[in-house]
Amino acid sequence: MQQRYKNLKIAQKGVLISLCAYIILSLLKVIIGQLSHSETLLADGFNNSTDIFSSCAVMVGLRLATRPPDEHHQYGHWKAETIATFLTSLIMLLVGLSVLYTSIRNILAGNHESPDIYALFVGIFSGSLMYGVYFHNAHQAKKINSQSLLAIAKDCRSDAWTSFGTSVTIFAANFNMAWLDGVVAFLIGLLILKTAYDIFSASAFSLSDGFDDDLLEKYVADVEKIPGVELVHNIQGRSYGANVFIDIIIWVDPQMTVRKSHHITEKIESLLQRDYGVFDTDVHVEPWDVDYEPQQPNELNSH
């Protein structure tokens, strides 16, 4: 348990690094975008501004998740991280719609002013910086198995691609292709909406106690290899932030002693923790029903 709280602290440091980078880049892009008359750079700056709110929301969620269980939250406060991510998706949705509206209005109005070439270097610098942040946070996320930090890392990578694309667009706009600036701003708006939808879907799935059936099938396959386990009668999984809780019912020989069956439950807990990072497993032991017809994998329960 203590290690998981330490991992949350590490994740907070990674999010803080991203937050500082987003603040610097969003200010730089908005200011230079205005001075250089680049709609694409402005849109990219607004994109980074949503990342500021996203990072702050995730930071608050991680902070709340470090609180220990109490009488009202007996499973802890791990879901605060997921709630923060859900709210972030709503913020990104609003900003994405705003960018789309502005870009469409400018395209229809025929505002095709060529941006100054020095705006190109801002995009190159931003893309390089965000790729550096991505590699750092992705490495840390995999090390501590933090889904929220990994999501932040992937967002940094997307921002890096967007910044490089912005540079290419600004370069092209200075060669009699000024119309491309507004078009790419429109595409960036779509990218923001796509990212918002993906984050919304994933967080809503987790908040509604959805769980990956493929993972449940892997758990069942490995647990049934443990000597003494006749069959996995039922299994349920749910996520609390970066943590996974598993409820599993196994069937064993009706003549097995309590001591031996308890030893089997410890093996199951150890297996899921070692191979899948599941630290909370509730194993219920029942006598084997030889007349039972096993469920198909798609009939396993996921909550």
Count Cα neighbours of 135 within 13 Å in the Cβ-side half-sphere: 5
Question: How far is the C-alpha of 199 from the C-alpha of 74, rounded, in Å?
Answer: 27
Query: What's this model's pTM, rounded to 2 decimal places?
Result: 0.69
Q: CA 78, 82, 87: angle at the middle one, nearest 5?
A: 140
Long-range contacts formed by 261-268: CB under 8 A, 24+ apart? 261/228, 261/285, 264/226, 264/228, 264/229, 267/226, 268/223, 268/226, 268/229
Per-residue pLDDT reduced to its tens digit, 203-236? 888 787 788 888 888 999 999 899 989 888 889 8
CA-derived radius of gyration, the chain? 25
Structure tokens given for 128: 């390089």
Report the pLDDT value the prediction gives residue 132, as an integer from 0 to 100.
93
* C-alpha–C-alpha distance, residues 161 and 69, integer Å: 40
Q: What is the pLDDT of residues 188-211, one digit of tens each?
A: 778 778 877 887 888 888 787 788
Q: What is the mean pLDDT of residues 99-124?
A: 74
**pLDDT at residue 272 tops 80:** yes
Do 139 and 61 meet the contact criterion of CB atoms below 8 Å apart?
Answer: no
Residue 214, classified by CB atoms within 10 Å of its CB into exposed (0-12), middle (13-18) or buried (19+), is exposed
Q: What is the pLDDT of residues 135-167, one digit of tens each?
A: 998 888 887 777 778 778 877 887 888 788 778
